[in-house]
Chains A and B, each alone.
Chain A
Amino acid sequence: MNWAGLTDFVSMRGYGLYVWGSYIVTAGLMLVEPWLARRQRRRALQETTNLSSEN
């Protein structure tokens, strides 16, 4: 175990801004991108022309 407690972990012993500034942006992008890709797929399916005879 590397950390003396939560404060020690969050502060990253003075490098908190740099470490968390990297990790939070990376995590944010890697959550948004799959969401955008799924939305793109859902919309692509909705926007296909319906060729069936019922409508």
Chain B
Amino acid sequence: MNRPLTWLTFSAPSRFYALANAVNPWLWALAIGLAVWGLYVGFFVAPTDATQGEAYRIIFIHVPAAWMSMILYLAMAFWAGVGWMLNARMASTLARAIAPTGAMFTFIALWTGAFWGKPTWGTWWVWDARLTSELILLFLYLGYIALVTAIDDLVRGDKAGALLALVGAVNVPIIYFSVRWWNTLHQGATISLTAAPKMAQTMLFAMLLMTFAFWAYAFAVVFTRAQALALARDGDAAWVQALRKEKQ
């Protein structure tokens, strides 16, 4: 059967599963390659920061993790919303699969932020607008996960999760603009589309390499988890049975 490839093609769990299998090895190769390159540039090429010394090297994971935490939230809310509106269960499954990875990157952003704040600000934590809104993001992820796993009826769980995810999306622009709207201890945006970068080229380059590495990583892990959720959901479908036979 050779059906034309449309935007709905991969909404079928069986096709999604096959697609994820095909792209995942490439994503892993990309994630590892970019991370090795990024860490090399970050530690051996980028110079010491004039004011922060070597402590600034935390930026190569802190900023990419913080970006991922926000982007993944928007992706989760988007797919949850698509799943709700179009009754597309693979979209809802994808939203569920994104949540733990988003929560992990949020935790990494907070953790590395604390380890950067201590030597530069003199404190691990401060209730500043940027830090507080990022902490709320972590609670939104955890709330979403708790909500969708607590509801046994999968479709109802998807809908309740979508509502929470979409309402919580308001927090993302608050995080992003917090450093402009309020007087925060946290510094302003690291890079902006409208101004020249305020950091050395090599520092910026290492940070972007790590960002792309985190992107590839996030896609790969989310795809694997979405495969697991699709299998659990579609247990008695013909494609799962075929896969089961193949693995035995």
Q: Which positions in A face B, CB cutoff 8 Å?
A: 1-3, 9, 12-15, 17-19, 21-23, 25-26, 29-30, 33-34, 37-38, 40-41, 43-45, 47-52
Contact = CB atoms under 8 A, between A and B. Distances in A.
Contacts, number: 105
B43 A2 contact: yes
Interface in B36-55: 43-44, 46-48, 53-55
Contact of A41 (B53, B61, B224): B224
Interface of B: 43-44, 46-48, 53-55, 57-58, 61-62, 65, 100-101, 104, 107-108, 111-112, 115-116, 118-119, 217, 220-221, 224-225, 227-229, 231-232, 235-236, 240-241, 243-245, 247
Main secondary structure of the interface of A (DSSP, over half): helix
Contacts of B104: 29-30, 33
List the 9 closest pairs (A to B, CB-CB), nearest first: A41-B228, A44-B231, A48-B235, A22-B112, A40-B228, A15-B55, A37-B224, A12-B54, A22-B115
A44 to B, nearest CB: 4
B57 A19 contact: yes
A48 B53 contact: no
Main secondary structure of the interface of B (DSSP, over half): helix
Contact of A18 (B46, B118, B235): B118
B100 A33 contact: yes
A29 B65 CA distance: 12
Contact of B220 (A1, A17, A21, A34): A34
B224 A38 contact: yes
Q: Please indicate which of the listed interface residues B54, B57, B100 has the most CB atoms of chain A within 10 Å of its own CB.
A: B54
Given A13-B53, A30-B217, A47-B232, A41 B227 contact: yes
Given A2-B48, A22-B62, A51 B243 contact: no
A48 to B, nearest CB: 4
